[in-house]
Copies of this chain bind each other. A is one copy, B any other.
Amino acid sequence: MRGVFLAIGDELVAGRVANTTSFWAAGLLSRRGYRLLEIVTVPDDREAIVFHLRRLFPQTDFLIASGGLGPTEDDLTSESVAEALGLRLVVHKGILARIRENEKAQGLPVNTLRDRMAHLPEGACPLSEDFTAAGYLLEHQGKPLFFLPGVPSQFRELFEKKVLPYLEEKFPPKETVFTRTLRFFDLREAEINRAVKKILGEGLEVGFYPVFPEVQLTLTARGKDEGEVRRRVLEAAARLQTHFPEHLFGEDQEELAAVLGRILVERGYSLSVAESCTGGLIASLITRIPGSSEYFIGGAVTYANWAKREVLGVPERFLRLFGAVSREVALAMASGARKRFSTTFALSVTGIAGPGGGTPEKPVGTVWLGLSTPTETVARKFLFPGSRHEIQTLAAFTALDWLRRYLLTGNLFPAYRFAVEGD
């Protein structure tokens, strides 16, 4: 079953409000097996609304529209619907009575401008039984057309309580849809795509989306047999997992920090961090995960040099001889944190996130990461690209991922795109 979404509002095309409601609805529809052909956003303009309604009506099985149902002059949806479909506007007595009651209850004078909201295309059926929210269903030539208010909370309530149940009754999903999202770190879309082509069979829809700094891949299958549909997706996911045993770190809602946390908990390990240029971002990523207190003991954000000395015991002469952004300081920070917080592992970061502070030998993006384990402490140099925030994010994700990959493989030096070796 194919639908279209028509979002109506001057505030949307002017970018004063981001129309996230349409994408929220698109997600719900898609997960139930309904496909949207397009999402069109137009201003409160009668000609535009009429044009798109006429164009979309023959192509679609159902239509969902939002906005333009209020009492003001620029609310033009109902009259545009009437014009587009050749219908009269008729007064809905229940809505009109409700308008008068509201005026009375609020001690307002009768204002017939509000009556506009009671003028609906003939055959329209209000979706809110007590008429507290605007919005109606119009069945035209057997096709359901839903007109919902633009206010997100009202839209969402009517969409979930009225639109979805109606669609599921009228168009019972003919097929099962099953989607799995696979999450990759430190791989390019193109590299993943090459593998996808080689190892995935037919009958799967593949979608890529970069969600910085990850790449996320969705595998979707459709079909009549639920078990078979799930099997197709899960088998493909397993093949990709085998192909990318280290880079495919998680599925669906699993954050990188949550995957690392799960491994730490399973093995009874604990973790601390020592951060300079990431400034608390690693600790923050870890502690966003519920239950992180099981393995995360604490962290030191040592932005000033003397904080590195005072809190982590980094020797003064290291800072003087090698500078704060150096192998020696990264090593001392990692082992200092591991000692201070008495943890199994510690991660450290010291680098130049910019925009200032770069030099020819240590340009912006130069970052040393340190990892201290019960048996050794090592450090690696990276050169991350991008803005200050991107460099901080890449450094934080790489640190978490480094420990995750070490715990998976025992290899202390897994390959990374932005690693600078031999330094």
Interface assignment of A223: CB less than 8 Å from any CB of chain B: no
Cβ of A418 to closest chain B Cβ, rounded Å:
10
Q: What's the number of copies of this chain in the assembled complex?
A: 2
Residues of B within 8 A of A275 (CB): 280, 283
Counting contact residues on chain A (CB < 8 A from B), the size range is 35 or more
Cβ of A100 to closest chain B Cβ, rounded Å:
13
Interface assignment of A318: CB less than 8 Å from any CB of chain B: no
Q: How far is the CA of A302 from the CA of B386 in the complex (A)?
A: 31
Complex contact B18–A30 (CB within 8 A):
no
Complex contact A340–B355 (CB within 8 A):
no
Residues of B within 8 A of A210 (CB): 151
Residues of B within 8 A of A306 (CB): 297
Within 8 A of B (CB), among A39-60: 39-43, 48
Complex contact A311–B340 (CB within 8 A):
yes
Residues of B within 8 A of A35 (CB): 13-14
Complex contact B279–A301 (CB within 8 A):
no
Complex contact B19–A356 (CB within 8 A):
no
- Known A-B contacts A151-B210, A341-B310; the reply to A18 vs B14 at CB < 8 A is no
Q: How far is the CA of A281 from the CA of B275 in the complex (A)?
A: 13
Interface assignment of A23: CB less than 8 Å from any CB of chain B: yes
Within 8 A of B (CB), among A167-200: 189-190, 193-194, 197
A7-27 interface bits toward B, Cβ cutoff 8 Å, 1 = contact, 0 = none: 001111111111110111111
Interface assignment of A93: CB less than 8 Å from any CB of chain B: no
Interface assignment of A405: CB less than 8 Å from any CB of chain B: no
Q: How far is the CA of A301 from the CA of B293 in the complex (A)?
A: 12
Among A303, A340, A392: residue with most chain B CB under 10 A: A303
Complex contact A15–B41 (CB within 8 A):
no
Residues of B within 8 A of A290 (CB): 354-356, 388
- Decide if the interface of chain A is mainly helix, strand, loop or mixed: mixed
Complex contact B288–A296 (CB within 8 A):
no
Contact among B14, B22, B27, B302 for A36, CB-based, below 8 A = B14
Residues of B within 8 A of A27 (CB): 14-16
Contact among B39, B113, B207, B278 for A190, CB-based, below 8 A = B113
Residues of B within 8 A of A301 (CB): 273, 280, 283, 287, 298-301
Of A65-73, A139-147, A371-379, the one touching chain B: A65-73
- Known A-B contacts A197-B73, A298-B302, A303-B298; the reply to A23 vs B30 at CB < 8 A is no
Within 8 A of B (CB), among A210-256: 210, 212, 218
Complex contact B279–A288 (CB within 8 A):
yes
Residues of B within 8 A of A282 (CB): 280
Complex contact A11–B72 (CB within 8 A):
no
Complex contact B288–A392 (CB within 8 A):
yes
Cβ of A78 to closest chain B Cβ, rounded Å:
16
Interface assignment of A74: CB less than 8 Å from any CB of chain B: yes
Interface assignment of A321: CB less than 8 Å from any CB of chain B: no
- Known A-B contacts A283-B301, A303-B298; the reply to A20 vs B17 at CB < 8 A is no
The 6 closest A-B pairs by CB, nearest first: A279-B287, A15-B27, A280-B283, A15-B26, A298-B307, A280-B280
A interface residues, Cβ below 8 angstroms from B: 9-20, 22-30, 35-43, 48, 70-74, 106, 111, 113-114, 151, 153, 189-190, 193-194, 197, 205-210, 212, 218, 273, 275, 277-284, 286-288, 290-293, 296-304, 306-307, 310-311, 340-341, 354-356, 386, 388-390, 392, 417
- 18 other A-B residue contacts (CB within 8 Å) besides A10-B205, A13-B37, A284-B284: A11-B209, A11-B218, A12-B26, A16-B205, A18-B20, A18-B23, A38-B48, A40-B40, A40-B41, A72-B208, A106-B417, A278-B287, A280-B282, A280-B286, A288-B392, A293-B303, A299-B303, A311-B341
5 A-B Cβ contacts within 8 A?
Answer: A10-B205, A17-B207, A70-B189, A72-B189, A151-B210
